[in-house]
Structure 1
Protein backbone atom coordinates (compact mmCIF):
# COMPACT_ATOMS: atom_id res chain seq x y z
CA UNK A 1 0.00 0.00 0.00
CA UNK A 2 1.48 3.32 -1.08
CA UNK A 3 0.18 6.82 -0.43
CA UNK A 4 -0.39 9.02 -3.44
CA UNK A 5 0.72 12.63 -3.71
CA UNK A 6 -2.88 13.72 -4.32
CA UNK A 7 -4.03 11.97 -1.16
CA UNK A 8 -5.53 8.55 -0.67
CA UNK A 9 -3.81 5.23 -0.99
CA UNK A 10 -2.90 2.88 -3.83
CA UNK A 11 -2.89 -0.87 -3.33
CA UNK A 12 -0.64 -2.66 -5.83
CA UNK A 13 -1.78 -6.20 -6.64
CA UNK A 14 0.74 -8.55 -8.27
CA UNK A 15 -0.04 -12.09 -9.42
CA UNK A 16 2.83 -14.47 -10.20
CA UNK A 17 0.84 -17.67 -10.71
CA UNK A 18 1.57 -19.08 -14.16
CA UNK A 19 2.21 -22.34 -16.00
CA UNK A 20 4.98 -22.86 -18.52
CA UNK A 21 4.61 -25.64 -21.06
CA UNK A 22 7.84 -26.89 -22.58
CA UNK A 23 7.81 -27.46 -26.34
CA UNK A 24 6.95 -31.07 -27.11
CA UNK A 25 10.01 -33.15 -27.98
CA UNK A 26 10.13 -34.58 -31.53
CA UNK A 27 12.31 -37.44 -30.27
CA UNK A 28 11.28 -41.08 -30.54
CA UNK A 29 10.52 -41.85 -26.91
CA UNK A 30 8.14 -43.48 -24.46
CA UNK A 31 8.83 -41.15 -21.54
CA UNK A 32 7.33 -37.77 -20.73
CA UNK A 33 10.54 -36.37 -19.27
CA UNK A 34 9.56 -36.84 -15.62
CA UNK A 35 12.38 -38.43 -13.62
CA UNK A 36 10.35 -39.98 -10.80
CA UNK A 37 12.72 -42.83 -9.95
CA UNK A 38 15.99 -44.44 -10.97
CA UNK A 39 17.62 -47.73 -11.76
CA UNK A 40 21.31 -48.26 -11.18
CA UNK A 41 24.24 -50.48 -12.13
CA UNK A 42 26.70 -51.49 -9.41
CA UNK A 43 27.77 -54.90 -10.73
CA UNK A 44 29.06 -56.09 -14.10
CA UNK A 45 26.24 -58.63 -14.47
CA UNK A 46 23.49 -56.00 -14.18
CA UNK A 47 21.85 -54.55 -17.28
CA UNK A 48 19.27 -51.91 -18.19
CA UNK A 49 17.46 -52.14 -21.52
CA UNK A 50 15.26 -49.69 -23.39
CA UNK A 51 13.36 -50.69 -26.54
CA UNK A 52 12.51 -47.90 -28.99
CA UNK A 53 10.19 -48.39 -31.96
CA UNK A 54 11.13 -46.51 -35.12
CA UNK A 55 8.11 -45.80 -37.36
CA UNK A 56 8.76 -46.31 -41.06
CA UNK A 57 7.73 -42.72 -41.85
CA UNK A 58 9.89 -41.13 -39.12
CA UNK A 59 13.06 -39.19 -39.99
CA UNK A 60 16.20 -41.23 -39.44
CA UNK A 61 17.54 -40.41 -35.96
CA UNK A 62 21.12 -39.19 -35.72
CA UNK A 63 21.59 -39.39 -31.97
CA UNK A 64 20.81 -41.46 -28.90
CA UNK A 65 20.02 -39.52 -25.72
CA UNK A 66 19.79 -40.72 -22.13
CA UNK A 67 19.26 -38.99 -18.78
CA UNK A 68 21.62 -40.55 -16.26
CA UNK A 69 24.65 -40.00 -14.08
CA UNK A 70 27.32 -41.54 -11.90
CA UNK A 71 28.05 -40.62 -8.29
CA UNK A 72 29.47 -37.13 -7.68
CA UNK A 73 32.61 -38.90 -6.40
CA UNK A 74 32.75 -41.58 -9.10
CA UNK A 75 36.19 -42.64 -10.29
CA UNK A 76 37.38 -44.15 -13.53
CA UNK A 77 37.50 -47.58 -11.89
CA UNK A 78 34.05 -48.01 -13.45
CA UNK A 79 33.11 -47.56 -17.10
CA UNK A 80 29.61 -47.15 -18.49
CA UNK A 81 29.00 -48.89 -21.82
CA UNK A 82 26.03 -48.03 -24.05
CA UNK A 83 25.11 -50.34 -26.92
CA UNK A 84 22.50 -50.16 -29.67
CA UNK A 85 21.23 -53.32 -31.34
CA UNK A 86 24.20 -55.30 -30.08
CA UNK A 87 26.93 -52.82 -31.02
CA UNK A 88 28.77 -50.74 -28.43
CA UNK A 89 28.30 -47.05 -29.23
CA UNK A 90 30.15 -45.37 -26.36
CA UNK A 91 32.19 -46.16 -23.26
CA UNK A 92 32.30 -43.46 -20.57
CA UNK A 93 34.82 -43.30 -17.72
CA UNK A 94 32.92 -42.97 -14.45
CA UNK A 95 34.12 -39.43 -13.79
CA UNK A 96 32.72 -38.22 -17.12
CA UNK A 97 29.06 -38.77 -16.22
CA UNK A 98 28.88 -37.14 -12.79
CA UNK A 99 26.37 -34.53 -13.93
CA UNK A 100 22.71 -35.60 -13.95
CA UNK A 101 21.68 -34.39 -17.39
CA UNK A 102 20.92 -35.52 -20.92
CA UNK A 103 23.90 -37.17 -22.60
CA UNK A 104 24.05 -37.63 -26.36
CA UNK A 105 25.75 -40.23 -28.58
CA UNK A 106 25.99 -40.15 -32.38
CA UNK A 107 24.17 -43.06 -34.03
CA UNK A 108 25.23 -44.70 -37.32
CA UNK A 109 22.05 -44.71 -39.41
CA UNK A 110 22.80 -48.19 -40.79
CA UNK A 111 22.48 -49.55 -37.26
CA UNK A 112 18.85 -48.51 -36.84
CA UNK A 113 16.01 -51.04 -37.01
CA UNK A 114 12.21 -50.89 -36.71
CA UNK A 115 12.72 -52.24 -33.17
CA UNK A 116 15.84 -50.86 -31.45
CA UNK A 117 17.34 -52.18 -28.22
CA UNK A 118 19.56 -49.90 -26.14
CA UNK A 119 21.46 -51.68 -23.37
CA UNK A 120 23.47 -50.12 -20.53
CA UNK A 121 26.12 -52.06 -18.59
CA UNK A 122 29.17 -51.27 -16.47
CA UNK A 123 32.66 -52.70 -16.67
CA UNK A 124 35.77 -52.40 -14.53
CA UNK A 125 35.23 -52.43 -10.78
CA UNK A 126 31.74 -51.07 -10.04
CA UNK A 127 30.50 -51.01 -6.45
CA UNK A 128 27.79 -49.62 -4.19
CA UNK A 129 29.77 -46.42 -3.58
CA UNK A 130 31.06 -44.41 -5.32
CA UNK A 131 31.39 -46.29 -8.61
CA UNK A 132 27.86 -46.88 -9.89
CA UNK A 133 25.72 -45.55 -12.74
CA UNK A 134 22.06 -44.48 -12.48
CA UNK A 135 19.48 -44.10 -15.24
CA UNK A 136 16.31 -42.11 -14.59
CA UNK A 137 12.81 -43.61 -14.87
CA UNK A 138 9.57 -41.85 -15.81
CA UNK A 139 7.18 -43.65 -13.47
CA UNK A 140 4.11 -42.21 -15.24
CA UNK A 141 4.85 -44.05 -18.51
CA UNK A 142 3.01 -47.32 -19.11
CA UNK A 143 4.31 -48.70 -22.42
CA UNK A 144 6.44 -51.41 -20.70
CA UNK A 145 9.40 -51.17 -23.05
CA UNK A 146 12.06 -50.88 -20.34
CA UNK A 147 13.64 -53.87 -18.61
CA UNK A 148 16.18 -54.82 -15.94
CA UNK A 149 18.49 -57.84 -15.72
CA UNK A 150 20.68 -59.13 -12.90
CA UNK A 151 22.19 -62.00 -14.91
CA UNK A 152 23.92 -60.32 -17.86
CA UNK A 153 20.75 -60.32 -19.93
CA UNK A 154 19.84 -63.99 -19.62
CA UNK A 155 16.49 -62.97 -18.12
CA UNK A 156 14.71 -59.62 -18.01
CA UNK A 157 12.06 -58.00 -15.81
CA UNK A 158 9.71 -55.17 -16.82
CA UNK A 159 7.77 -55.30 -13.53
CA UNK A 160 10.55 -53.83 -11.38
CA UNK A 161 13.40 -51.89 -12.97
CA UNK A 162 15.57 -51.32 -9.91
CA UNK A 163 16.93 -52.82 -6.71
CA UNK A 164 15.89 -49.69 -4.83
CA UNK A 165 13.23 -50.29 -2.13
CA UNK A 166 9.71 -50.61 -3.48
CA UNK A 167 8.68 -51.24 -7.07
CA UNK A 168 10.24 -49.03 -9.73
CA UNK A 169 8.41 -49.29 -13.03
CA UNK A 170 7.83 -47.04 -16.01
CA UNK A 171 10.17 -46.10 -18.82
CA UNK A 172 13.86 -45.24 -18.84
CA UNK A 173 14.63 -41.74 -20.10
CA UNK A 174 16.26 -42.93 -23.32
CA UNK A 175 15.44 -41.47 -26.73
CA UNK A 176 16.40 -41.38 -30.40
CA UNK A 177 16.32 -38.11 -32.31
CA UNK A 178 18.10 -35.45 -34.29
CA UNK A 179 21.58 -34.40 -33.26
CA UNK A 180 21.76 -31.20 -31.23
CA UNK A 181 24.26 -28.36 -31.35
CA UNK A 182 25.68 -27.64 -27.86
CA UNK A 183 26.46 -24.07 -28.95
CA UNK A 184 22.93 -23.35 -30.20
CA UNK A 185 20.89 -20.72 -28.37
CA UNK A 186 17.14 -20.68 -27.89
CA UNK A 187 15.07 -18.72 -30.41
CA UNK A 188 12.16 -16.46 -29.38
CA UNK A 189 9.71 -18.62 -31.32
CA UNK A 190 10.69 -21.59 -29.15
CA UNK A 191 8.90 -19.91 -26.25
CA UNK A 192 5.96 -18.12 -27.89
CA UNK A 193 2.58 -19.27 -26.64
CA UNK A 194 4.06 -21.52 -23.98
CA UNK A 195 3.34 -19.32 -20.96
CA UNK A 196 -0.15 -19.48 -19.45
CA UNK A 197 -1.11 -17.01 -16.73
CA UNK A 198 -3.46 -18.28 -14.02
CA UNK A 199 -5.30 -15.11 -12.88
CA UNK A 200 -5.88 -14.49 -9.19
CA UNK A 201 -9.63 -14.29 -8.59
CA UNK A 202 -11.81 -12.80 -5.88
CA UNK A 203 -8.92 -10.89 -4.26
CA UNK A 204 -10.06 -9.20 -1.04
CA UNK A 205 -8.52 -5.89 0.03
CA UNK A 206 -9.52 -4.69 3.51
CA UNK A 207 -9.12 -1.29 5.16
CA UNK A 208 -10.23 -0.04 8.56
CA UNK A 209 -13.31 2.12 8.77
CA UNK A 210 -16.12 2.90 6.39
CA UNK A 211 -14.65 3.79 2.98
CA UNK A 212 -16.10 4.84 -0.35
CA UNK A 213 -15.74 3.33 -3.82
CA UNK A 214 -12.24 2.65 -5.18
CA UNK A 215 -10.98 2.65 -8.75
CA UNK A 216 -9.31 -0.44 -10.21
CA UNK A 217 -6.67 0.16 -12.90
CA UNK A 218 -5.16 -2.70 -14.89
CA UNK A 219 -3.30 -2.99 -18.22
CA UNK A 220 -5.57 -5.96 -19.00
CA UNK A 221 -8.98 -4.28 -18.70
CA UNK A 222 -10.70 -0.85 -18.68
CA UNK A 223 -10.84 1.09 -15.38
CA UNK A 224 -13.71 0.08 -13.16
CA UNK A 225 -15.21 1.11 -9.86
CA UNK A 226 -15.14 -1.30 -6.92
CA UNK A 227 -17.71 -0.64 -4.19
CA UNK A 228 -16.77 -2.10 -0.81
CA UNK A 229 -18.89 -3.95 1.68
CA UNK A 230 -18.67 -2.56 5.21
CA UNK A 231 -18.98 -4.81 8.25
CA UNK A 232 -17.63 -4.65 11.80
CA UNK A 233 -15.75 -1.45 11.07
CA UNK A 234 -13.88 -2.91 8.07
CA UNK A 235 -14.34 -2.07 4.38
CA UNK A 236 -13.70 -4.98 2.01
CA UNK A 237 -13.03 -4.45 -1.69
CA UNK A 238 -13.44 -7.61 -3.76
CA UNK A 239 -11.32 -7.46 -6.91
CA UNK A 240 -12.79 -9.95 -9.41
CA UNK A 241 -9.57 -10.80 -11.23
CA UNK A 242 -5.87 -9.88 -11.35
CA UNK A 243 -4.17 -11.49 -14.38
CA UNK A 244 -0.71 -10.04 -13.70
CA UNK A 245 -0.86 -6.55 -12.20
CA UNK A 246 -3.49 -4.08 -11.02
CA UNK A 247 -3.72 -0.98 -8.83
CA UNK A 248 -6.64 -0.29 -6.54
CA UNK A 249 -6.93 3.46 -5.87
CA UNK A 250 -8.56 3.90 -2.48
CA UNK A 251 -10.41 7.13 -1.61
Structure 2
Protein backbone atom coordinates (compact mmCIF):
# COMPACT_ATOMS: atom_id res chain seq x y z
CA UNK A 1 0.00 0.00 0.00
CA UNK A 2 1.30 3.44 -0.92
CA UNK A 3 2.15 5.94 1.85
CA UNK A 4 -0.81 8.18 2.67
CA UNK A 5 -0.36 11.91 2.29
CA UNK A 6 -2.17 15.03 3.46
CA UNK A 7 -1.83 18.33 1.56
CA UNK A 8 -2.30 21.51 3.61
CA UNK A 9 -2.45 24.82 1.73
CA UNK A 10 -4.92 27.68 1.73
CA UNK A 11 -4.57 28.20 -2.04
CA UNK A 12 -6.46 25.76 -4.30
CA UNK A 13 -4.07 26.12 -7.28
CA UNK A 14 -1.13 25.22 -5.02
CA UNK A 15 -2.95 22.10 -3.77
CA UNK A 16 -3.81 21.07 -7.33
CA UNK A 17 -0.23 21.59 -8.52
CA UNK A 18 1.19 19.54 -5.67
CA UNK A 19 -1.33 16.74 -6.24
CA UNK A 20 -0.40 16.73 -9.94
CA UNK A 21 3.33 16.49 -9.17
CA UNK A 22 2.75 13.67 -6.67
CA UNK A 23 0.73 11.76 -9.29
CA UNK A 24 3.55 12.34 -11.77
CA UNK A 25 6.25 10.88 -9.52
CA UNK A 26 3.97 8.12 -8.21
CA UNK A 27 4.32 6.05 -5.07
CA UNK A 28 2.23 8.35 -2.82
CA UNK A 29 -1.52 8.30 -2.25
CA UNK A 30 -3.10 11.70 -1.48
CA UNK A 31 -6.02 10.89 0.81
CA UNK A 32 -6.71 14.31 2.31
CA UNK A 33 -6.56 18.06 1.71
CA UNK A 34 -6.92 20.90 4.20
CA UNK A 35 -7.22 24.63 3.56
CA UNK A 36 -5.92 25.80 6.95
CA UNK A 37 -4.14 24.62 10.07
CA UNK A 38 -7.27 23.87 12.07
CA UNK A 39 -8.63 21.57 9.34
CA UNK A 40 -5.25 19.90 9.11
CA UNK A 41 -5.20 19.02 12.81
CA UNK A 42 -8.73 17.60 12.61
CA UNK A 43 -7.72 15.35 9.71
CA UNK A 44 -4.48 14.34 11.37
CA UNK A 45 -6.39 13.31 14.49
CA UNK A 46 -8.84 11.21 12.49
CA UNK A 47 -6.47 9.25 10.24
CA UNK A 48 -2.86 8.05 10.36
CA UNK A 49 -0.92 9.80 7.61
CA UNK A 50 2.61 9.00 6.52
CA UNK A 51 3.38 12.38 4.92
CA UNK A 52 2.11 15.91 5.47
CA UNK A 53 2.85 18.60 2.88
CA UNK A 54 2.48 21.78 4.86
CA UNK A 55 2.30 25.39 3.71
CA UNK A 56 3.52 27.96 6.24
CA UNK A 57 1.60 31.22 5.81
CA UNK A 58 -2.10 30.44 6.14
CA UNK A 59 -5.07 32.13 7.85
CA UNK A 60 -5.39 31.05 11.49
CA UNK A 61 -2.79 28.53 12.55
CA UNK A 62 0.41 28.73 10.54
CA UNK A 63 2.14 25.66 9.20
CA UNK A 64 4.84 26.07 11.83
CA UNK A 65 2.21 26.04 14.59
CA UNK A 66 0.68 22.87 13.15
CA UNK A 67 4.12 21.27 13.04
CA UNK A 68 4.78 22.35 16.63
CA UNK A 69 1.64 20.57 17.79
CA UNK A 70 2.56 17.46 15.81
CA UNK A 71 6.09 17.57 17.21
CA UNK A 72 4.82 17.88 20.80
CA UNK A 73 2.07 15.25 20.56
CA UNK A 74 2.69 11.59 21.26
CA UNK A 75 2.18 9.26 18.31
CA UNK A 76 -0.85 6.94 18.64
CA UNK A 77 -0.05 3.42 19.81
CA UNK A 78 1.20 1.26 16.96
CA UNK A 79 1.82 4.19 14.61
CA UNK A 80 4.38 6.90 13.94
CA UNK A 81 4.15 10.63 13.58
CA UNK A 82 3.78 11.68 9.95
CA UNK A 83 6.84 13.07 8.23
CA UNK A 84 6.42 16.81 7.57
CA UNK A 85 7.55 18.41 4.31
CA UNK A 86 7.07 22.17 4.23
CA UNK A 87 6.01 23.58 0.84
CA UNK A 88 6.13 27.36 0.85
CA UNK A 89 6.97 30.41 -1.22
CA UNK A 90 9.02 31.85 1.65
CA UNK A 91 12.54 30.59 2.46
CA UNK A 92 12.76 32.63 5.68
CA UNK A 93 11.48 29.94 8.08
CA UNK A 94 13.62 26.96 7.11
CA UNK A 95 15.76 27.05 10.25
CA UNK A 96 12.63 27.00 12.42
CA UNK A 97 11.21 24.18 10.29
CA UNK A 98 14.26 21.96 10.73
CA UNK A 99 14.22 22.69 14.46
CA UNK A 100 10.82 20.96 14.42
CA UNK A 101 12.39 17.88 12.78
CA UNK A 102 10.90 18.58 9.36
CA UNK A 103 11.90 16.03 6.74
CA UNK A 104 12.43 18.76 4.14
CA UNK A 105 11.69 22.35 3.20
CA UNK A 106 10.63 23.00 -0.41
CA UNK A 107 10.50 26.55 -1.75
CA UNK A 108 7.90 27.07 -4.48
CA UNK A 109 8.11 26.59 -7.37
CA UNK A 110 9.87 23.23 -7.21
CA UNK A 111 10.25 20.47 -9.78
CA UNK A 112 8.91 16.94 -9.74
CA UNK A 113 12.50 15.70 -9.38
CA UNK A 114 13.09 17.84 -6.30
CA UNK A 115 9.77 16.68 -4.83
CA UNK A 116 10.66 13.06 -5.47
CA UNK A 117 13.96 13.41 -3.62
CA UNK A 118 12.10 15.03 -0.74
CA UNK A 119 9.54 12.21 -0.55
CA UNK A 120 12.28 9.57 -0.65
CA UNK A 121 14.14 11.34 2.13
CA UNK A 122 11.00 11.61 4.28
CA UNK A 123 10.05 7.97 3.83
CA UNK A 124 13.60 6.84 4.55
CA UNK A 125 13.53 8.97 7.70
CA UNK A 126 10.27 7.32 8.73
CA UNK A 127 11.99 3.95 8.52
CA UNK A 128 14.88 5.23 10.64
CA UNK A 129 17.43 5.19 7.82
CA UNK A 130 18.79 8.00 5.68
CA UNK A 131 18.27 7.73 1.93
CA UNK A 132 21.40 8.05 -0.28
CA UNK A 133 20.40 11.50 -1.43
CA UNK A 134 19.71 12.64 2.13
CA UNK A 135 22.98 11.27 3.39
CA UNK A 136 24.85 13.08 0.64
CA UNK A 137 23.31 16.43 1.56
CA UNK A 138 22.70 16.25 5.27
CA UNK A 139 26.03 14.71 6.21
CA UNK A 140 28.52 15.30 3.40
CA UNK A 141 31.91 13.69 3.65
CA UNK A 142 34.39 16.10 5.12
CA UNK A 143 36.76 17.28 2.39
CA UNK A 144 40.31 18.47 2.86
CA UNK A 145 41.15 22.08 3.64
CA UNK A 146 39.98 24.70 1.20
CA UNK A 147 42.61 26.03 -1.19
CA UNK A 148 43.52 29.61 -0.28
CA UNK A 149 42.90 32.32 -2.83
CA UNK A 150 46.02 33.29 -4.82
CA UNK A 151 48.13 35.94 -3.17
CA UNK A 152 47.73 39.42 -4.57
CA UNK A 153 44.17 38.90 -5.70
CA UNK A 154 41.12 40.07 -3.77
CA UNK A 155 38.06 38.39 -5.22
CA UNK A 156 34.70 39.89 -4.31
CA UNK A 157 32.56 37.02 -3.04
CA UNK A 158 28.85 37.48 -2.48
CA UNK A 159 26.22 34.86 -1.74
CA UNK A 160 22.70 35.32 -3.19
CA UNK A 161 19.88 35.07 -0.63
CA UNK A 162 16.18 35.06 -1.54
CA UNK A 163 14.03 37.41 0.54
CA UNK A 164 10.42 38.35 -0.19
CA UNK A 165 10.82 37.72 -3.91
CA UNK A 166 14.10 39.67 -4.10
CA UNK A 167 17.66 38.46 -4.45
CA UNK A 168 19.89 40.02 -1.78
CA UNK A 169 23.66 39.67 -2.16
CA UNK A 170 25.38 38.91 1.15
CA UNK A 171 29.04 39.89 1.38
CA UNK A 172 31.18 36.87 2.27
CA UNK A 173 32.94 38.87 5.00
CA UNK A 174 29.59 39.31 6.78
CA UNK A 175 29.25 35.54 7.23
CA UNK A 176 30.39 34.33 10.65
CA UNK A 177 29.82 30.66 9.88
CA UNK A 178 27.65 28.35 7.79
CA UNK A 179 25.98 25.16 8.94
CA UNK A 180 24.52 22.33 6.85
CA UNK A 181 20.71 22.07 6.91
CA UNK A 182 19.45 19.13 4.81
CA UNK A 183 20.28 20.20 1.29
CA UNK A 184 20.46 23.86 2.23
CA UNK A 185 22.85 25.82 4.39
CA UNK A 186 22.10 28.27 7.18
CA UNK A 187 24.32 31.34 7.25
CA UNK A 188 25.00 32.98 10.61
CA UNK A 189 25.62 36.65 9.91
CA UNK A 190 26.76 39.27 12.36
CA UNK A 191 23.16 40.43 12.95
CA UNK A 192 20.97 37.83 11.27
CA UNK A 193 20.53 34.22 10.20
CA UNK A 194 19.47 33.31 6.65
CA UNK A 195 19.00 30.17 4.57
CA UNK A 196 20.54 29.60 1.14
CA UNK A 197 20.01 26.82 -1.39
CA UNK A 198 23.72 25.98 -1.57
CA UNK A 199 25.18 22.90 0.05
CA UNK A 200 28.08 23.36 2.45
CA UNK A 201 30.44 21.91 -0.18
CA UNK A 202 29.31 24.55 -2.68
CA UNK A 203 29.75 27.33 -0.14
CA UNK A 204 33.23 26.06 0.66
CA UNK A 205 34.18 26.33 -3.01
CA UNK A 206 32.83 29.89 -3.17
CA UNK A 207 34.15 31.09 0.19
CA UNK A 208 37.82 30.28 0.06
CA UNK A 209 40.73 32.06 1.67
CA UNK A 210 39.85 32.79 5.31
CA UNK A 211 37.01 30.24 5.53
CA UNK A 212 37.78 26.81 6.94
CA UNK A 213 35.76 23.59 7.25
CA UNK A 214 36.14 22.82 10.96
CA UNK A 215 33.55 20.03 10.94
CA UNK A 216 31.58 18.20 8.26
CA UNK A 217 28.58 20.37 9.19
CA UNK A 218 30.33 23.73 9.82
CA UNK A 219 32.27 26.20 7.69
CA UNK A 220 33.78 29.04 9.75
CA UNK A 221 35.08 32.49 8.87
CA UNK A 222 38.46 32.45 10.65
CA UNK A 223 38.41 36.24 10.96
CA UNK A 224 35.67 35.84 13.59
CA UNK A 225 37.51 33.32 15.78
CA UNK A 226 37.91 34.78 19.26
CA UNK A 227 38.98 31.81 21.40
CA UNK A 228 39.91 28.12 21.15
CA UNK A 229 38.50 26.29 24.16
CA UNK A 230 39.13 22.60 24.94
CA UNK A 231 35.96 20.82 26.02
CA UNK A 232 35.67 18.07 28.64
CA UNK A 233 36.33 15.38 25.99
CA UNK A 234 39.58 16.97 24.91
CA UNK A 235 38.13 18.29 21.66
CA UNK A 236 38.23 21.92 20.56
CA UNK A 237 35.39 24.44 20.57
CA UNK A 238 35.64 27.77 18.78
CA UNK A 239 34.17 30.86 20.43
CA UNK A 240 33.33 33.36 17.71
CA UNK A 241 33.41 37.13 17.88
CA UNK A 242 29.75 37.82 17.11
CA UNK A 243 27.16 39.31 19.45
CA UNK A 244 26.02 35.88 20.66
CA UNK A 245 29.58 34.57 21.17
CA UNK A 246 28.59 31.56 19.07
CA UNK A 247 30.35 28.28 19.81
CA UNK A 248 31.27 25.77 17.09
CA UNK A 249 32.76 22.34 17.66
CA UNK A 250 35.93 21.39 15.77
CA UNK A 251 36.34 17.79 14.64
CA UNK A 252 39.50 16.03 15.79
CA UNK A 253 40.44 15.45 12.17
CA UNK A 254 40.52 19.16 11.38
CA UNK A 255 41.98 20.49 14.64
CA UNK A 256 45.69 20.27 13.64
CA UNK A 257 45.16 22.12 10.35
CA UNK A 258 42.99 24.70 12.09
CA UNK A 259 45.73 25.38 14.64
CA UNK A 260 48.22 25.77 11.80
CA UNK A 261 45.94 28.18 9.95
CA UNK A 262 45.50 30.26 13.11
CA UNK A 263 49.19 30.12 13.99
CA UNK A 264 48.70 28.52 17.43
Higher fraction of helix: 2
Whether TM exceeds 0.5 here: the answer is: no
TM-score, normalization by structure 2 = 0.20
Higher fraction of strand: 1
Higher-RCO chain (CA-CA 8 Å, sequence separation at least 6): 1
TM-score, normalization by structure 1 = 0.20
